[in-house]
Structure 1
Amino acid sequence: MIVVLYNYHDNGDPDVPASSDLIDEIRSASRQIVRELGFMDPTLAGTAYSASAVHALLEVERRESMTAAELVQVLKLEKSSISRMIGKLVRAGELAETAGAGDGRVKPLRLTSQGLRTVAGIHAFARGQVTVALGHLNPTEQQAAAQGLSAYARALAARHPDAGETPQAPIEIVAGYRPGWIGRVAEMHAAFYSRHAGFGQFFESAVAAGAAEFSGRLDHKRNRIWSAVRNERIVGSIAIDGEDLGNDQAHLRWFILDDGCRGGGVGRRLLGEALAFCDQTGFAATQLWTFRGLDAARRLYEAHGFELIKEAPGTQWGSEVIEQQFSRRRPGAGA
């Protein structure tokens, strides 16, 4: 029997519409975040100021100085609201107007010494909130929360392309073994498939053992690993095993992305790298095994030339699924 490691549900197609249930879940979570962080209160972050005033202080600190017009753009508030808020913060001793270069009508705002102390307190308060919340999550969930929130913030900001938001660090596709690859592959598989298929310890152990065994064969020219890497952390993986199937067949294995990285095309990039390697190396065909129900992943595979050739019930991982085998022949290869 061929030992199979399943592939993940990669929604790499940005044109796939979000389901109504997903939209409602995100809206519900957003409302809870607003309540838990205190945005429903008249003041925020342990200060005597409103949420908009707190954010104004933080933005002025981040940029060292800002004009009222710049605050209008960044905070997305009306000019009259910004003017009243600035006046209140200046009178409270948090902000000071400075002379503008070349135009006396433009008066950039800077934090006073009192304002610097206030902002330091805001940072301490907010970091405390985040630290306590993250204490209820395991490391994988912490990473998923950070990546998911960053991705969602970018998606919201995409409606305003001139907002000047700082982009998140890009994801690089890197070939070859990287320290930590075995553990991250096992971790990402276990986290995803425990939720989506009920797979448990046996599955995680099999993934780790298989990845460890394969890593010892990477000196073979027909074996290759690619990792998706962000800020030196492995957030995705794919591998081609050119030995285990024989008969000039490539085995696509350990195709997985971390939570929070799906939907941005990283899966397409990984798959494209792996299949280009298969074609350049001259494999007659590439095989992969997955299971029924991962519809977006199936669309991704079929878009890259894979065809479903076999499916049957299986329970080898402790939960019954309909196992599927997909096959892709090298373009130009004979039948």
Structure 2
Amino acid sequence: MDISDDFFPGAIGQIIQMHGAHYSQNWGFTTYFEAKVAHQLAVFAQGKQDTDLVLIAHDRDGVAGSLILNLHDPEAAGRGAHLRWFICADRSRGTGIGRKLLAKAVAHAETHTNGKMWLHTFAGLEPALHLYRSFGFVLHSEMDGDVWGTIVKEQEYRRSGDS
């Protein structure tokens, strides 16, 4: 498995498809969610800056995982780097690729934001939440919401880093 540090032709579409299929099959999310991922990912890709981090794991079958660290998110408000679009394809779950991607992201954040990071997720994603916690993320807030087009217990996790 290789890890690219930038988008390559077809990668954005595959990342969107992975999110749409996974969250539809496992959580009942609708095309609203897939369209939101598509829009936000496209906006990010068009405005990506040099210090932002794009990690795309891929094998002969295509994209096997992704993680993007947005260091210029206008919504960050002092929370550091925004971890986004972190997903692993079913075929790569349990291989350690997610941990490898997150370790690279944390190292990047250590360099650029003193390790300060944040992310939005929702309750019930236990393998991902376990991974986040193992890298020092802690639950900052939680509330019922429908930001993904389906009512879930939305959560914000933060990593304080060195500061």
The bucket for the TM-score relative to the shorter chain is over 0.9
Q: Which runs of 5+ in 1 are unaligned?
A: 1-170
- C-alpha deviation, 1:285, in angstroms: 1.5
Conserved? CA contact 2:106–2:115, under 8 Å: no
Alignment match, 1:265: 96
- C-alpha deviation, 1:316, in angstroms: 2.6
Q: TM-score, normalised by structure 2?
A: 0.93
In the alignment, the residues of structure 1 paired with residue 61 and residue 124 of structure 2 have an alpha-carbon distance, to the nearest angstrom, of 32
Alignment match, 1:212: 42
Question: Residue by residue, what CA displacement relative to the aligned partner does 1:37-57 show, whole Å, maximum 9, x if unpaired?
Answer: xxxxxxxxxxxxxxxxxxxxx
Alignment match, 2:29: 199
- C-alpha deviation, 1:315, in angstroms: 1.6
Conserved? CA contact 1:248–1:284, under 8 Å: no
The structure with the largest alpha-carbon Rg is 1
2:124 maps to 1:319 = no
2:137 maps to 1:306 = yes
In the alignment, the residues of structure 2 paired with residue 183 and residue 276 of structure 1 have an alpha-carbon distance, to the nearest angstrom, of 27
Q: TM-score, normalised by structure 1?
A: 0.46
Q: Percent of aligned positions with the same letter in both sequences?
A: 36
Residue in structure 2 matching 1:231, options 44, 47, 60: 60
Residue in structure 2 matching 1:286, options 117, 120, 132: 117
Once the two structures are overlaid, the 10-residue window that deviates more, 226-235 or 300-309, is: 226-235
In the alignment, the residues of structure 1 paired with residue 50 and residue 114 of structure 2 have an alpha-carbon distance, to the nearest angstrom, of 12
In the alignment, the residues of structure 2 paired with residue 261 and residue 213 of structure 1 have an alpha-carbon distance, to the nearest angstrom, of 27
Conserved? CA contact 1:173–1:229, under 8 Å: yes
Which SS does the other structure have where 1:260 is aligned?
helix
Conserved? CA contact 1:217–1:223, under 8 Å: no
Residue in structure 2 matching 1:222, options 51, 55, 63: 51
Conserved? CA contact 1:252–1:288, under 8 Å: yes
Q: Which runs of 5+ in 2 are unaligned?
A: none
CA RMSD of aligned residues (A): 1.5
In the alignment, the residues of structure 1 paired with residue 61 and residue 78 of structure 2 have an alpha-carbon distance, to the nearest angstrom, of 37
Amino acid at match of 1:274: A
Which SS does the other structure have where 2:156 is aligned?
strand
In the alignment, the residues of structure 1 paired with residue 152 and residue 44 of structure 2 have an alpha-carbon distance, to the nearest angstrom, of 25
Amino acid at match of 1:213: V
Total equivalences in the alignment: 161
